[in-house]
Amino acid sequence: MADSGPTIETARLILRPTAAEDFDAWAALMADDASHFIGGPQARSVAWRGFISVAGAWAIQGYSMFSVIEKASGLWVGRVGPWVPEGWPGTEVGWAVAKPAYGKGYATEAATAAIDWAFDTLGWTDVIHCIDPENIASQRVAERLGSTNRGPGRMPEPYEEYPVDIWGQTREAWRARR
C-alpha cells in the first residue's frame, strides 16, 4: 500500500487511503445488485475506473474516500469519506458498505470519523450527503449523524437524471452535537 494519506482508527475500524489490495472487494461491492444507489451494478472494468478515480483523488486533491477495514478481521468492508468531483453539489462525505457489513453501524462509525477529519483537517464548513430518495438505509445513517434533508439536488453530468436529496449540516451544528 502506498502512503498516500492519513490513517484514522475508530473503536472497530481503520480508515485509510485506497490501496491496490482493496480492488477485489470494491469490485464485488459494485457488482452487487444492492449497489444500484451508488451507480451499480457495474462490470469489473467499470468498477476499476471508479476505484482508480478515488485512489487518484488522494494524489490530486489530498483527500478522497477512505477504504474501511474491519479491525477484528482485516477485511475491507466499504468506502467512506470526502468526495467532491467536478460539478458536485457540495462538500460530501459519502459511504458505501458491503453487504456482509450491513447492520453493524460501520457506516455511521466511519462517517463520524471522516466528518471530524473533513472539518478539522480540510477546514470544511459544511458537509452534505447525496442520497437517493428511496435509499432508506442511508437516510437513517444521515439522521444518526445529525444531518437533515435539505431537499432535492442535482447531480452533474452524466448523473443529472438520478434523483437525489441533499442531506447535510454545518460544522457548527456538528460540533454542537459532539
pLDDT of residue 1: 43
Residue 48 near residue 56 (C-beta atoms within 8 A) = no
pLDDT tens track for 42-80? 899 999 999 999 999 999 999 999 999 999 999 999 999
Q: What's the average model confidence in pLDDT over 74-90?
A: 96
Q: Which residues of 22-43 are buried (b: 16+ CB within 10 A; e: fewer)?
A: bbebbbbbbbeebbebbebebe
Give the chain's largest Cα–Cα span: 43
Q: Which runs of consecutive H residues, i.e. helices, occur in the chain?
A: 23-31, 44-61, 106-120, 136-145, 171-177
User: pTM of the prediction?
Assistant: 0.94
Residue 66 phi/psi, 5-degree rounding, is -90, 150
pLDDT of residue 105: 97
3-state secondary structure of 69: strand
Residue 11 phi/psi, 5-degree rounding, is -60, -40
pLDDT of residue 3: 58
Residue 50 near residue 1 (C-beta atoms within 8 A) = no
For residue 137, count CB atoms less than 10 angstroms from its CB and return exposed for 0-12, middle for 13-18, buried for 19 or more. middle
pLDDT tens track for 108-167? 999 999 999 999 999 999 999 999 999 999 999 999 999 999 999 999 998 898 899 999
Domain 8-177 has CATH 3.40.630.30: yes
**What residue spans define the domains of the chain?**
8-177
3-state secondary structure of 51: helix
pLDDT of residue 4: 79
pLDDT of residue 38: 76
Supply the angle between the helices 44-61 and 23-31 in degrees, to the nearest 10. Answer: 120
